[in-house]
Amino acid sequence: MGENAKRALIICVDMDDDVGSKTGLETPITGRDNVLRAAEKLALVDPEEADSNAMFASIRLSDELFQKGYLTEVSVIGGVRDGGLEASRKAMNEIMRVANSFNPSEVYVVTDGFGEEDIEPVIRAKLPLAGVKRVVVKQSRSIEASYIIFGRYLKMLFSDPRFKKWFLGLGGILIITLTILSYYGSIREVSTAFWSIIGLAVLMKGFDLDRLVSAGLKHVFGGEMPPQFLILKTLLLSTGISLILFAFSTGLSTGFLPDETLIARIGRFIAQTTDVMLFGFAITLLSGAIKYPLTASSVQDSLTILANIVTLIPMLRTLGLAIATPSFELRILLHVSLLTLMLVFAVNVTVFLTMRLLYSLKILKISQRTKIA
């Protein structure tokens, strides 16, 4: 064999250390004859053990590469019985020990299935991995492959964020909803709620409505922002719009008094809906005033908007009463208007002093364009 011949290291990986636990041999087992004797011993001890087939396959691969002019070495690597990180750590230590003594130009990994796939990226990063051969007994290939694929997808349902929110999140909503309805409602209501939730989830996933809604909200609010921030702004916007619609609906549903003029109806509508409607407007504007990244200036703007709109409620309610009641004294409206102006001034001063206090306590940074820590 020439000095320039390629050096191929064939590694048979046994992560759960069946070779060591069943034959009493210590890994790494290096050399063709040693691996052959270990494979025969394992096959005699446990004829159904798949690792013996992987060891025979390693020897066969070594012979094939040797016939092609390679200088080959075959070795059996073992992990620990319980698997996990400790098994991966022990296996990598043995692999590097064998590789450092042989100095291969190519490395081939032979396994008895898919259980050793977690260690392959580590081997590829440290050694010139040229190929991976998985040996599955022919009679059980389809069963084992099906079992492995099923286990892999089942693991994805619990760990992959793309599937976890639908499997666990939707499942949790269904369980809670059905439990509550089963306690208070009938079987028909439970069935209706169940299929409604399933149908809504399928509809959202089928038409990518969740992505469209998320993209639309980001377009409305502008810029990229964390999901928590986007949810906060969305909740504020939806709450504000809901309050406005509720106030408007309540004002229209109260009906009209006999012989009531249009002006009086408008005044009574204003008096009845001003507080809820203005509060809804304040929350809606607040959802747009909060910016990301959160800055001191956006906090001050948000507080100012909320406070100023809320302070207008007494004056607008009084204005509505004045319009709806012909005998209403305008002197009361004047006094309420003056008090409202004073209240608006006091609120703005309070917001300003509060922000300065936060600055002095170093809760907020002095620069209003700086992110809040």
In a domain? residue 368: no
- CA–CA separation, 237 and 287 (whole Å): 6
Please indicate, yes or no, whether residues 245 and 355 belong to a single structural domain of this protein: yes
Q: Higher pLDDT residue, 148 or 1?
A: 148
Domain that holds residue 133: 7-146
Give which of 114, 145, 109 is closest to 124, Cα–Cα: 109
One DSSP character per residue, 154-185 reads: HHHHHH-HHHHIIIIIHHHHHHHHHHHHHHHS
In a domain? residue 68: yes
Chain-centre distance for alpha carbon 196: 24
Residues of the chain above pLDDT 90, percent: 8
Please indicate, yes or no, whether residues 87 and 166 belong to a single structural domain of this protein: no
Q: Which residues are 107's β-sheet partners?
A: 9, 129
In a domain? residue 217: no
Residue 366's pLDDT is: 42
User: Across the beta sheet with 71-78, what order do the strands follow?
Assistant: 29-30, 71-78, 7-14, 106-111, 129-134
Please indicate, yes or no, whether residues 265 and 337 belong to a single structural domain of this protein: yes
Domain count, the chain: 3
Please indicate, yes or no, whether residues 104 and 174 belong to a single structural domain of this protein: no
Per-residue model confidence as pLDDT tens digits over 59-81? 999 999 999 888 999 999 888 87
- CA–CA separation, 226 and 218 (whole Å): 10
Q: Count the alpha carbons within 13 Å of 24 in the hemisphere toward its beta carbon.
A: 2
In a domain? residue 151: no
Residue 88: what residue type? S
Q: Higher pLDDT residue, 279 or 136?
A: 279
Per-residue model confidence as pLDDT tens digits over 170-204? 777 777 777 777 776 666 776 777 777 777 777 77
